[in-house]
Structure 1
Amino acid sequence: MDVHWSAPVRIELAPGQYRIISSTLEAATFLLKEWPDGDESIAVWARRVCQETFTGVRAAEDARSAFFLACRNAGLRTMP
């Protein structure tokens, strides 16, 4: 079940190219299929938080926060 967030996370993928992520499902998909090369440990952690949101262990805002922190840690420019 997809859980929409109270506010989306906007990511700059390249200069002038943005992606808006507004739900846990979108974040999990991005983390699995579009994550940039580099350290995967933060992405693995964020994916686990997303999974826990799907199973009801965590709130949707936990997934949003984890996704935002993972993006920042990976050096992606984000705007909350």
Structure 2
Amino acid sequence: MDRGEWSLPVTFETERLGAYLTISSTAEAARVLLEHWPLDRGKALKRAKAACLLVLQGKADAEIAREAFMKAAAEAEVFVRP
């Protein structure tokens, strides 16, 4: 399966204060959004999940999922390292 590798990884602070996780693929992002995301709902979250699915199905470019993940992080007020 194509994991949808990202050209630029995203590092964000997890639910545990001071703990960071770096995501470098759509498959990793999908797992985080489904299993470890601080919100259960939201427009950006829904779009990010849909974008990840499209990428994993080979119907969209991986950067679409990365951009959607960043918008979901902003919606959830998740700190992302520059």
Report the TM-score range of the alignment, normalised by the length of the smaller protein. Answer: 0.7 to 0.9
Percent identical pairs in the alignment equals 39
Which sections of structure 1, spanning at least 5 residues, go unmatched?
none
Question: Conserved in 2, the CA contact under 8 Å of 1:39 and 1:74?
Answer: no
Q: Deviations over 1:2-55 (max 9, x none)?
A: 111111100012432111111000000000000103543322210100001112
Q: CA RMSD in A?
A: 1.5
Question: Conserved in 1, the CA contact under 8 Å of 2:42 and 2:75?
Answer: no
Q: Which has the higher strand share?
A: 1
Further displaced range: 12-21 or 70-79: 12-21
Give the length in aligned residue pairs: 80
Aligned to 1:5, the other structure's residue is in SS state: strand
- Which residue of structure 1 aligns with residue 5 of structure 2? 4
Question: Conserved in 2, the CA contact under 8 Å of 1:3 and 1:60?
Answer: yes
Which sections of structure 2, spanning at least 5 residues, go unmatched?
none
Q: In the aligned structure 1, how far is the partner of 2:71 from the partner of 2:39?
A: 16
Which letter does structure 1 place at the counterpart of 2:61? Answer: A
Normalising to structure 1: TM-score of the pair? Answer: 0.87
